[in-house]
A and B are shown apart, each in its own frame.
Chain A
Amino acid sequence: MHHHLSRRAFLHMTGGLLGGALLSPLLEPSLLLAQSPQGGTGKNLIFINLLGGLDGLSAFPYYEGAVAASIRERLRPALAIPSNLVIPVAGQNGIPNKIGLHPGFSKLALHAAQHIKVVRGYGIPGELERSHDTCQILMSLGASKLNSGDMTGFMARLMDRREWESFQFWALSTTNPPDTNTRKKPPIVVSDLSNLDVRPVAWESEGDLKQALDVSRQLIEIRTPNNSLEARYRSVQLSTELVLSRVRRDINNQVVGNNLAGDYTDSGIGRNLRDAAKILRAKKLAPESGMAGRDTMILCAQGGYDTHSDQGTTDPMRGDLPVLLSSLGNNLAVLYRDLDSFGALNDTIVIVYSEFGRTNFENGTPESGSSGTDHGHASNTLVLGGPVTAGVCGESPSAQELQDDWYNALLPRVDVRDIFSEAIRWLGVDPLEIFQEPGYQPRLVGIIG
């Protein structure tokens, strides 16, 4: 860098900065972004990956306007949620096509309505290969096309770039490998904190177990790996012991749930959110955990959303989808109350996403036995948290795309990466550090505020 600038160079640079400040709000000049400290400022991001392709048109149904009428009368006479049962979302004055929440989210709406934002029409941009695997990998990578070779997901990249400690990224469910494929420190990948412990073998006593664990650790340490895969295996083994001690000491003793919204259910998503609450409570209230003041990212998942059949019936509360949404919503409500109770609500954003939406047209009818939908493209979703104010963002579909029998799916109005980018920017990180696909520029969606 030159220390002595010519007048011309100085003016050029200054002009560039001013020009950057005047840029369209579509662009985020990284020069203007205040970088947060390396470890963060104590904020929390919770990602919930709904595996299988959530039917956004059912989970967040349109209940008023031409879109709602088209869905009800033409596209989904069996599956459309009756308008009077949809839970309205605030902040839609003047919007002709109003959107709301599936009745399965009633408990969540009751407790957290003021902090729910519905995002309309998000998805992976461009021509879409409607394959679960391809799209889940694209979501993990934060890309619109597969670039063979680079399997580092955006969450892993965030952790690497910010040089986080392992305990700053918890993957609480079966994830796609790119999510946790960090190059520096590994995240912590556990699926049930309450079931994380060592056990004696056969007739071992307590002393035997202690001796055995000590010897095991030494054995692992002294053995030199013969290749990178073995090295990776070994590093996870060594981190397991550290994770175990931290979980035992700081986290598993946190009391969560059983609050105004009820308790976490004994389901995959229930356990994930319960464990998320424990981690964040320990962060807030247990200074010895070392997590305070640092950003935390937690990845959860809920499967079962590939509803080709048995998705629903004319009764909106019967079928596979309502059961899943109720479970998700109820557990989110409990989490919301927990976060509020220990003062973490305003530091936390929850982002729900899925690899794609589903077809506009339903499959058959309940009478024909196939009350479901196939793979689609864009979908609707929600974002939740203290920094989120109630309302909607994104765009509703056009009449034309609803009539397109051939494509039979919504087109994305919001690049899914824009949702992630806004949350990452909220952490004080330049999203372009994380999403580096050529041509991508983050656009403001408005999930926060």
Chain B
Amino acid sequence: MFSYKGQQYHAMRRSTDCTSSLRKLALFVSAILLTDVSSSRAEMRTRLSPSNRSQFAVISQNSPFFVCYRLENGEAKLGTVKDRTLKNGSLWTEFVVPKNQALLASLTVRIKRFKGTKRSKAYRDLVRRRNTIQSTINKALLVARDCVPYSDDEPSVVEFQGDPKSLAPYQDKLSRNEVRHLLKKVAFGGSPELEAIGMERGLNALADALIDGLGGQAERDKLEQDSMLWARRGFYFDEDDPDYRGVRIWNMEALHAAQFHRFLYSRSPMHEWLLLMLAGHFATNLNAIDFSYSKYGHYGLLLHWNLLKNNSLGNFATLAKAMLDDPAMNEWLDNEDNHKDSPNQNFARELLELFILGVIDPITGHKNYDEESVVATTGFVSGYFERSQIDPESGKEVVGSAFDPELHDQTPRTLLREVPSAQIFGSLKAPELIDHVLTNHPGSSRYVAERFGGQMLYPSLDEGMVAQLAQVLLSNNFELRPFVRTIITSQAMFSDAARNTCITSPIERTVQLARKLILKPLPQDQENLEKSFYLLLTLRDTARDAGQSIFEPPSVFGWKGACNINRAGAKFQGEGWLSEQRMLNRSHTCGDLMGILAWLEYDLAGSLNVTNLTSARAIITTIADSVFSMRLSPEELTLLIRFMETEQSPEGSITEIAVEPHADYYVWRKIARLICMLSDLSSNNLR
């Protein structure tokens, strides 16, 4: 009998006669039965297969269950589930310990788990959660005491000391695992210096670094200038321009290259992550906008980009209102055509549904607005039109947006009739409308809170958390800095509930990988300009082929099925990225990146610090840790070592090769593929 956190656990041991060969094997099995049904009493029995050996079983409560066992060589292993059956009102699970070189036979453990019927809610809950074992593995490992962790990630139950549903500040001291977790969630994996700040100075210092960015203003200006090198080539094309130098970029390509340059080299990666989130919220497909009537029409795209860039940690209300003057948004959602004599509902509807209010209140479940409000809003946001303006930087004539009161529909209308706190009858101008809705409609702050909070934390925020986040927005007049800071320093952020809850989007995946691999700045000298440009476009293309092109969402909803598209109560964990086609293209992401790096003659081995390593094991573990923050199991390591030490002919014969990380042929055949295989593992595709 032993206890853990107040729960009593019984250990039962049964031993049987073993054959002489089996005596060589010392196998310790800890089976922890945990049920989340407080009303049922969990029991555990085991039945041994003919090839018996001793095993242990442990009973406890309050989690789904798993089996962990230790091999003779001391490595811990998780038993795989072979079958689950419902018999006589109990759920039986059969685990199998597979044969391998360390084992002489297999062990089957049947565990009686639950009393109930198939119709009971408890059973359904249990079945639904039976695959959710990550946190349980860690907890139970601790309980079992003798099993080492399955992965090198420290068990979250050890480090997490808090309430998973609380937005109160988490402890300042963080483990390496926690630092990496936060950086993976909201900063494309961060950087070594951000990781060092988190480890050495704690959560508050890390939050400051993420929010304020690293480096001084001069450095930020330099990044901006370097990124603008690409943007200027598309938007300010001029043969006399000294930046031209023969590499002409066409419009959207310029924007893509500029933004991916920022993704890659920003010392404030959270700013770029937030930009991506905002680009999916104020979703505008810049490639679908027709500015062809103006020589510098695509400057409108640049304006939209600047809006998101400059307001990623600004004020949400300001950003929403800025969309009224944004020529790209006006063109995209037809607000330029919305005048008092010819109403067009497109922008008005999406303003309410997608930008500032949402269809359904996430707490009450009530509809936030009605069709009458759509008609009223259409009138209130009318009056904007496109016109030329002079760009202050270049002095050139470019597209812009303006408001004409003569085109504005001033008919008094009723807005939000069913919402007493926000109902109004009258005529509003568009900025007044936005302020009114954000301030007075309770659903508005909740919608924004759930949308953004869900993407930063996890999709299924409960009502209490939504209410708390909404209050943060309201009490700070929709400033995003305190909102973001609350989330990234919260207890909820470091709980199990926030770990690996969303499939990374293609851009997240690409940028995360590229940031780890491309550690030196891209050359921008004349000789290498074109190569650098193609690298940036390769990054764009790999993400696009996997389903996401920056600034080109397929519709005004952004990227469907991405994490926490909370439309009318539907919550998704990134299932939109999952399909056979997209899976293959996701896999190609790394391959294409390797290809372009090879073409650039990039010192990949040097940047990964593996050039001087002499063993395949060392190369593999170094890359697994530095690029993917993971530790491999002995089985995986064995498999990969063999891969790195051999090659296969087209006919299938395997021969040994030397491990030579200093040699190009080895780098671009073996190390490159190793990186791609690791990047394909499911755990490296969640955040």
Contact = CB atoms under 8 A, between A and B. Distances in A.
A and B are partners in one complex rather than unrelated chains? yes
B573 A222 contact: no
Nearest to A228: B131
A233 B578 contact: yes
Contacts of B646: 211
A86 B572 CA distance: 43
A262 B584 CA distance: 31
A157 B682 CA distance: 26
Given A212-B677, A223-B682, A374 B344 contact: yes
A374 B346 contact: yes
A174 interface: yes
B686 A206 contact: no
Nearest to B653: A207
B648 interface: yes
Interface in B580-602: 580-584, 587-588, 590-592, 594-595, 597-598
A215 to B, nearest CB: 5
B581 A236 contact: no
Contact of A216 (B133, B649, B680, B685): B680
Contact of B568 (A146, A199, A208, A234): A146
Contacts of B680: 216, 219-220, 237
Interface stretch (B105-113, B203-211, B331-339, B430-438): B331-339
A306 B587 CA distance: 33
A365 B565 CA distance: 35
B359 A129 contact: yes
Contacts of A51: 555
Contact of A199 (B557, B583, B591, B685): B591
Contacts of A343: none
Given A223-B682, A364-B337, A368-B342, A131 B668 contact: no
Given A130-B371, A240-B580, A374-B344, A202 B500 contact: no
A229 B683 contact: no
A363 B669 contact: no
Contacts of B371: 130
Interface string A247-266: 00000000000000000000
Contacts of B367: 129
Contact of A134 (B131, B567, B584): B567
B514 interface: no
Interface string B533-577: 000000000000001000000111100110001011110111110
Interface string A361-390: 001110011101011000000000000000
Contacts of A372: 334, 337, 344
A424 to B, nearest CB: 23
Nearest to A231: B131
Interface in A195-242: 195-208, 210-212, 215-216, 218-220, 222-234, 236-237, 239-240
A42 B582 CA distance: 29
B462 to A, nearest CB: 13
Interface size class of A (residues with CB under 8 A): 35 or more
A237 B640 contact: no
B636 A219 contact: yes
Interface stretch (A33-41, A185-193, A280-288): A185-193
A294 B576 CA distance: 28
B617 interface: no
A132 B339 contact: no
Contacts of B344: 308-309, 363-364, 370, 372, 374
B338 A222 contact: no
Nearest to B545: A195
B184 to A, nearest CB: 14
Given A309-B346, A363-B343, A190 B80 contact: no
Contacts of B561: 176-177
Interface in B661-687: 664-665, 668-669, 672-673, 676-677, 680-683, 685-686
A121 to B, nearest CB: 20
A229 B500 contact: yes
Nearest to B678: A219
B137 interface: yes
Contacts of A368: 337, 339, 341-342
B345 interface: yes
A226 B639 contact: no
A225 B643 CA distance: 23
B595 A228 contact: no
A133 to B, nearest CB: 4
Contacts of A369: 337, 342
A181 interface: yes
A130 B371 CA distance: 8
Contact of A215 (B338, B576, B643, B686): B643
Nearest to B597: A202
B568 A233 contact: no
A148 interface: yes
Contacts of B349: 130-131, 374-375
A218 B639 contact: yes
B134 interface: yes
A137 B591 contact: no
Contacts of A190: 579-581
Nearest to A239: B580
A244 interface: yes
A306 B547 CA distance: 21
Given A219-B636, A375-B345, A196 B567 contact: no
Interface in B143-160: 150
Contacts of A199: 588, 591-592
B457 interface: no
A104 to B, nearest CB: 21
Contacts of A292: none
A171 interface: yes
Contact of B578 (A200, A206, A208, A232): A232
Contacts of A210: 648, 650, 652
Contacts of B568: 129, 131, 133-134, 137, 146
Contacts of A222: 633, 635-636, 639
A229 B503 contact: yes
Name which of B501, B567, B581, B646 has the most chain A CB atoms within 10 A of its CB: B581
Contacts of B503: 229, 233
B353 A131 contact: yes
Nearest to B547: A174
Contacts of A198: 584, 587
A146 B567 CA distance: 11
Contact of A244 (B584, B597, B598, B643): B584
B103 interface: no
Contacts of B587: 198
A385 B567 CA distance: 35
Given A176-B560, A201-B590, A206 B650 contact: yes
A153 B556 CA distance: 22
A227 B500 contact: yes
A363 B643 contact: no
A181 B579 CA distance: 11
A204 B502 CA distance: 32
Interface in A320-374: 363-365, 368-370, 372, 374
B677 A203 contact: no
A234 B500 CA distance: 14
Contact of A230 (B150, B595, B598, B686): B686
6 contacts: A137-B568, A146-B568, A203-B669, A204-B673, A208-B673, A364-B342
Given A231-B131, A364-B339, 19 more contacts: A129-B359, A131-B567, A146-B569, A176-B560, A191-B581, A202-B668, A202-B673, A207-B648, A207-B651, A212-B676, A225-B682, A226-B134, A227-B132, A230-B500, A236-B579, A244-B580, A308-B337, A364-B337, A374-B349
Interface of A: 51-52, 129-134, 137, 146, 148, 151, 171, 174, 176-178, 180-181, 188-192, 195-208, 210-212, 215-216, 218-220, 222-234, 236-237, 239-240, 243-244, 303, 306, 308-309, 363-365, 368-370, 372, 374-375
Top 9 A-B residue pairs of the complex, sorted by shortest distance between their CB atoms:
A364-B342, A189-B579, A226-B134, A211-B648, A133-B567, A308-B346, A370-B337, A202-B668, A203-B668
